[in-house]
Chain A
Amino acid sequence: MTIPAGAPAPRTNRLGLSVVDYRGSKTTLCAGCGHNAISERILEAVFDLGVPPERVVKLSGIGCSSKSPAYFMSRSHAFNALHGRMPAVATGAMLANRNLLALGVSGDGDTASIGMGQFAHLMRRNLPVIYIIEDNGVYGLTKGQFSATADRGATLKTGVVNDLPAIDTCALAIQLGASFVARSFSGDKRQLSTLLKAALSHHGTAMLDVVSPCVTFNDHEGSTKSYAYMKDHDAPIHELSYVPPREDIAVEYDPGTTVEVTMHDGSRLRLRKLEEGYDPRDRVQAMTRLMESSRSDEVLTGLLFVDVKAPSFLDVLGLPDAPLATLPEAAVRPSRQALQEILEGMR
């Protein structure tokens, strides 16, 4: 895996690590699979931001998408868990060690069908985790059945038509209380990279639904998750730029055309409006636009909703700064006197 030509590619990042230190094993997914492009964008984002690989845990469920954590960041612990159950594992891991940076990779089947319950409750809890849905509208590993994010009227290669409406994971996440909800396209390098960096700077659940075409089972005429369809229907709501913490940007924007969001770590996200009046801090507006877009066959992409102040689940629990996992015995085993006191109450 290499840094794409044209991207700013310093030899080493702020930690003195080079791209090699963030690589994973060779991908076993199909050539041209959108998921591989997403892995590359993840790698770029963590490299550029100088994320220590040892702090990251990569978590996934089951499916083509969920294999991909093997293809980036071999220096990070990973847990390829059960179909639709990554949220539970992520929750447990973050409870055990809140200093970890959890990067979850799921798919549309893994999330919107078998994993719907856990997905919903993860969004609701606002656990600090980046939750990426690599969304291609089909079950790839079982050879091309529709998933629940496939649009009504879309067809399979065999001619089978999808009769049921798609579940919009972004609308759902916003409704359930997620604090960072974005949609992107695996083929839009700049937008996806920027969104991933913003997600890495977010404090809470950052949900990214990334349309990621399946070249083998869902890239034909009649698919609404193909490269061709996305080229025609991708409707970015703004142009994004990410400014790392403590860095200034020279370019001045006309204030009426730009929204600036300061992220939890001090970085800033500049959203130059392509669409009049869209403010991603407005939950109701986000929902309205998503509903409208589904009627007009456009795929709205960009940062759909963000609330940088929402307390994370770990804040709600009031956990200490030190990881629970490694608290010393003296901190977690009450004293002999405590046992005496408890037993005395039972006499």
Chain B
Amino acid sequence: MSETATAVQRSQERAAPRDRENDFSIQVATANGSGSQSSNTVLLRALFQMGLPVSGKNLFPSNIAGLPTWYTIRVSREGWIGRKKEIDLLVAMNAETARQDVMALPPGAVVVFDAPLGVGTLRDDLASYAVPFDKLVEPVTSDAKLRKLLRNMCYVGVLARLLSIEPAEVERAIGKVFGKKAKARELNLAAARAGHEWAGKIEKKDDLSVRRLDLNRGKLIVDGNSACALGALFAGVTVVTWYPITPSSSLVESLIGYLRKYRVSPDGKPTFAVVQAEDELASVGMAIGAGWAGARAMTATAGPGISLMSEFAGLGYYAEVPAVIFDVQRVGPSTGLPTRTAQGDVLSTAFLSHGDTQHVLLFPGTVEECFTMGVEAFDLAERLQTPVFVMSDLDLGMNNWMAEPFPYPDRPMDRGKVLSREELERLGGFARYQDVDGDGIGWRTLPGTDHPRAAYFTRGTGHDESSGYSENPAVFEQNMARLRRKLDGARSLAPPPEVQGSGSAEVGIVAYGSSHHAVVETRAQLRDEAGIETDYLRIRAFPFAREVEAFVAAHRRVYVVEQNRDAQMLALLKLDLPAELLVRLRSVAHVHGLPLDARSVTEEIVGKERLS
């Protein structure tokens, strides 16, 4: 029996019942629009404030009110913040899904449910608590509409007592969430207390609990869209154009809030312009127009918007105009699942538009990187004079994550190769697309530069070094070769991959973006449960850095983990790597709209290793 097969066998022998202190997941099932978002944030924050590693994920429908929605919170003393596949505690508030939700639970799970739902007798292998929420909130307010919302804060109180969440932290979290709205704060405090008091009078029937740790010192809680917005703010963005689309709208909306607060001159004038465009054709067109005229310009969108932007993306590439496009990916094809997460725009965005177009993509894997890459994208776009895409996703963008404080940009802004009036005077003129520095990047001038030789004619048609119209075959080929050289240069300018592991493992894992959080946990599961050691490379940009090839060359089997059906990153790797390395690549690709979980990845890799 091979070493791997032994390891697999070992993983199948179930360990003793695990200790669920500081290690469990909660799923709250409510109806969309019922006000559960605030309650779940309070729950998440209270756990976070107790120094426990937590993550929260909102699994919501494309709907304003009424359809079922779930929120999952994971507490992990090991620090795992990816989605956990198994649910340990269900809060059932939604009649529509309660039965189904309860039936899906693993044995030993806990159910806290709204008493009238009567799901306590469905199974005998669960610990159930029937909570009379309506009765509990009755004394809190006489307003029936408010009572409906307060039922949700009531379950926070119930869970706090059952799980031993410190009441003081719950109250602090309520203060944080409701801020200056004194009346709302008081009502919610009362609702949480009512739940807490009720749960104190019943018998505890489960083993889930929390105990204060000190693992979150200095950390923040923030969503990736806000982090991207802050990146753009500190990158000095001046022109923001957008068209609302889930899940990117909140990126621009939070940016607008920050801009209004931090980017107004002492004379009261904004140092920015925000335009809500008529569609994504216009939003990216405006960003390209602004980038051409010298502004740090951006737009944000999701898959359907990316499709519409393909025409301008090609123009930006070919006419060499900087712009930053944040793509907060959701599930496609077509309208797909607008409120669910995926990494499905990778391949189409890499080559977005017709002809030999190729783009620079950045892949933030954490909210910290949403910030740092948000800053870096603008430097890269202006340095390379090309559109740069920041490939976030719904999981990263719309969910709350723990984060280290963002570092203040340590470098001055890189505005790229722009000739001033004085430089033009000294040089006597310039040719826009001439590769004077050997890096494929020409020098540009900004419209309005007050010099008779500053002007050039920007076009999407064939052009020569001086930007004159040209259909000359040799000129065309030279220009296209230069553009390829320029994009090749991005390999060393864009953020390098991050590598973890000893480097001596036989098995390598390649992942990117939000898949990172499942992969780090998978590596531990593979090691602890199956004895499989792995090294891990996280791609952070396309075109790929040279380290990617070296990593694949150093491992016999390389699993490329991603959240799409067609193994899109693996396909990009195949285009880039030497033929002899391609046989080493294996795909672990999942797309179902839920954030990737480690268990599924581990099982698939273990299964494939067994066959190898």
Contact = CB atoms under 8 A, between A and B. Distances in A.
**Which of A94, A117, A318, A347 has its CB near the most chain B CB atoms (within 10 A)?**
A347
A318 B269 contact: yes
B288 A334 contact: no
Contacts of B291: 92, 96
B285 A92 contact: yes
Nearest to B311: A82
Interface in A70-109: 70, 74-82, 85, 87-97, 99-100
A324 B271 contact: yes
B456 A324 contact: no
B496 to A, nearest CB: 24
B448 A121 contact: no
Interface stretch (B25-33, B180-188, B232-240, B341-349): B232-240
Interface in B201-236: 219-222, 230, 233-236
A336 B241 CA distance: 26
A269 B263 CA distance: 40
Contacts, number: 215
A92 B288 contact: yes
B450 A54 contact: yes
Contacts of B408: 336, 339
A120 B291 CA distance: 23
A17 B446 CA distance: 22
B221 A57 contact: no
Nearest to A343: B405
Contact of A324 (B220, B272, B447): B272
Contact of B447 (A70, A91, A97, A343): A97
A319 B313 CA distance: 27
Interface residues of B, number: 72
B307 interface: no
Nearest to B226: A346
B290 A80 contact: no
A250 interface: no
B267 to A, nearest CB: 8
B460 A80 contact: yes
A114 to B, nearest CB: 10
B285 A88 contact: yes
**Which of B293, B412, B469 has its CB near the most chain A CB atoms (within 10 A)?**
B293
A77 B273 contact: no
Contact of B273 (A21, A82, A324): A324
A325 B238 contact: yes
Given A92-B290, A324-B295, A79 B271 contact: no
Given A88-B289, A97-B447, A121-B278, A82 B460 contact: yes
Contact of A93 (B258, B447, B469): B447
Contacts of A87: 282, 285
A190 interface: no
B448 A323 contact: yes
B399 interface: no
A343 B262 contact: no
A251 interface: no
A333 B289 contact: no
B297 interface: yes
Given A54-B449, A336-B408, A95 B285 contact: no
Interface in A186-228: none
A334 B447 contact: no
Contacts of B275: 91, 95, 317
B285 A89 contact: yes
A320 interface: yes
B450 A325 contact: no
Given A54-B454, A95-B286, A96-B290, A81 B315 contact: yes
B413 A326 contact: no
B270 A334 contact: no
Contacts of A331: 265, 271
A80 B458 contact: yes
A249 interface: no
A75 B452 contact: yes
Contact of B282 (A77, A95, A121, A346): A121
Contact of A320 (B265, B283, B289, B459): B265
A93 B456 CA distance: 15
A339 B270 contact: no
A329 interface: yes
B389 interface: no
B236 A332 contact: yes
Interface residues of A, number: 56
**Which of A53, A320, A329 has its CB near the most chain B CB atoms (within 10 A)?**
A320
B325 interface: no
A190 B271 CA distance: 42
A342 interface: yes
Nearest to A54: B450
A332 B289 contact: no
Contacts of A54: 448-452, 454-455
Given A77-B455, A319-B270, A82 B312 contact: yes
Interface string B460-502: 1100000001000000000000000000000000000000000
Contacts of A336: 408
B42 interface: no
B271 A93 contact: no
Nearest to B241: A92
B43 interface: no
Contacts of B469: 70
Nearest to A324: B238
B430 interface: no
Interface in B289-341: 289-297, 311-312, 315, 319
Given A88-B277, A334-B233, A320 B455 contact: no
B278 A320 contact: no
Nearest to A320: B269
A73 B292 CA distance: 19
A347 B406 CA distance: 12
B502 to A, nearest CB: 34
B289 A317 contact: no
A166 B265 CA distance: 48
A258 B457 CA distance: 42
A89 B316 CA distance: 11
Nearest to B269: A320
B315 A323 contact: no
21 contacts: A57-B447, A74-B455, A77-B455, A79-B292, A80-B461, A81-B288, A81-B460, A85-B281, A88-B286, A88-B312, A91-B289, A92-B287, A92-B293, A95-B290, A120-B278, A325-B293, A326-B294, A332-B272, A334-B234, A346-B222, A347-B220
Given A74-B455, A77-B456, 12 more contacts: A82-B315, A88-B277, A91-B286, A93-B289, A95-B290, A95-B295, A96-B289, A117-B281, A325-B290, A325-B293, A334-B263, A346-B222
Interface of A: 21, 52-55, 57, 69-70, 74-82, 85, 87-97, 99-100, 117-118, 120-121, 317-320, 323-327, 329, 331-334, 336, 338-339, 342-343, 346-347
Interface of B: 219-222, 230, 233-239, 241, 258, 262-263, 265, 267, 269-273, 275, 277-279, 281-297, 311-312, 315, 319, 403, 405-406, 408-409, 412-413, 445-452, 454-461, 469
In the A-B complex, the 8 residue pairs with the closest CB atoms = A92-B289, A88-B285, A325-B294, A332-B236, A96-B295, A96-B293, A92-B290, A89-B289
